[in-house]
């Protein structure tokens, strides 16, 4: 079933929308949650919570790409769950490692967070549009989906050292780009 048909079922409040969404997107959503949480039970709960959030959000939203819409929900839920878990344990994991990689190229939080977020989002989108499709794919896999370097290397039929170098150079280029845009570090 195509996304438009599934979204139409959501709009009709037909529970088949949930079954079709699960059938089509469970592996993808589980991967998104797994890359952040690495815990089967938490992943399962995030995916199930994604379905509930989608049910409550459609309508009024009418996503153009259902996979992106669902992926964003799952990612947000997984990050929230990870934050709650690490607040209790004060442990490490994938997300702090990813943030550490970005430490030198992203600006510090300022008082006007909303404006800063919009400006940063727009700058990141311009930066990503300027990358080659391969480098953009690698960057998004690492920093959006939280894929490991090893997994990205397998996907790209490349060596881990090459992927690490592309990521390093891309972060460096991002830092220079943000500086040229007067987005303070």
Q: What is the pTM of this model?
A: 0.62
Domain map (residue ranges) of the chain: 3-89, 98-180
Return d(Cα 73, Cα 57) in angstroms, integer.
10
**Inter-axis angle of helices 133-143 and 113-129, to 10 degrees?**
140
What are the start-end ranges of the H helices in 12-148?
16-37, 40-57, 66-89, 94-102, 113-129, 133-143
pLDDT in tens, 152-168: 999 999 999 999 999 99
pLDDT in tens, 11-70: 999 999 999 999 999 999 999 999 888 889 999 999 999 999 999 999 998 998 899 899
Q: Under CATH, which architecture does the 98-180 domain have?
A: Orthogonal Bundle (1.10)
Residue 173's Cβ-side half-sphere holds a number of Cα atoms within 13 Å equal to 16
Q: Is it true that domain 3-89 has CATH number 3.40.50.300?
A: no
Return d(Cα 73, Cα 75) in angstroms, integer.
5
| 175, 167 contact by CB (below 8 A) | no
**Sorting pLDDT into bands at 50, 70 and 90, what band is 82?**
confident
| 90, 67 contact by CB (below 8 A) | no
Residues 6+ apart with CB under 8 A from 2: none
Return d(Cα 151, Cα 34) in angstroms, integer.
13
**Inter-axis angle of helices 40-57 and 16-37, to 10 degrees?**
140
CA angle 151, 152, 157 (to 5 degrees): 100
C-alpha closest to that of 150 among 170, 165, 158, 172: 158
């Amino acid at each position: 079933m195509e996304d438009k048909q599934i979204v139409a079922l959501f709009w009709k409040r037909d529970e088949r929308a949930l079954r079709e969404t699960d059938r089509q997107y469970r592996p993808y959503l589980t991967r998104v949650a797994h890359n952040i949480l690495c815990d089967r039970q938490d992943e399962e709960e995030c995916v199930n919570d994604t379905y509930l959030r989608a049910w409550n959000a459609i309508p009024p939203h009418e996503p153009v790409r259902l996979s992106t819409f669902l992926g964003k929900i799952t990612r947000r839920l997984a990050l929230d769950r990870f934050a709650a878990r690490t607040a209790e344990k004060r442990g490490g994991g994938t997300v702090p490692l990813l943030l550490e990689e970005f430490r030198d190229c992203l600006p510090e939080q300022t008082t006007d967070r909303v404006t800063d977020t919009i400006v940063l989002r727009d700058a990141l989108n311009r930066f990503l549009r300027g990358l080659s499709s391969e480098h953009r794919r690698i960057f998004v896999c690492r920093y959006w989906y939280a894929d490991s370097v090893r997994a990205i290397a397998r996907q790209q039929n490349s060596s881990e050292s090459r992927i690490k170098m592309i990521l390093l150079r891309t972060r460096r280029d991002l830092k220079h780009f943000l500086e040229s845009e007067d987005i303070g570090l």
